Amino acid sequence: MSYVVASKVKDLLKSLDMMTAGELSDALSKFVEDALKKAAHRAKENGRKTVRSCDL
């Protein structure tokens, strides 16, 4: 499952005068998934069911 919009990532990097490798979107999506899982775990450890920005 993808958690990022590849065209938006590409647009941002293009605006920074950078190119995008084909596998970047998949790697970024995995990065986001891992970060969200860690954030959810932290929220649970703090007795919450709501993930907040401070959990990232």
- pLDDT of 1-56, one tens digit each? 899 999 999 999 999 999 999 999 999 999 999 999 999 999 999 999 999 999 99
0.95 surpassed by pTM: no
Question: How many domains are contained in the chain?
Answer: 1
d(CA 9, CA 13): 6
Residues shown for the chain: 56
Give the pLDDT of residue 8. 97
* DSSP-derived secondary structure for 1-56: ---S-HHHHHHHHHHTT----TTHHHHHHHHHHHHHHHHHHHHHHTT-SS--GGG-
Give the pLDDT score at 6: 95
20 is a domain residue = no
Question: What pLDDT is stored for residue 10 in this prediction?
Answer: 97
Q: Can you give the residue range of the structural domain that contains 29?
A: 25-56
In a domain, 11, yes or no: no
Domain-located, residue 14: no
- The verdict on residue 6 lying in a domain is no
Inside any domain, residue 1: no
Residue in 23, 25, 33 with CA at minimum distance from that of residue 4: 25
- Is residue 34 assigned to a domain? yes
**Is 10 within a domain?**
no
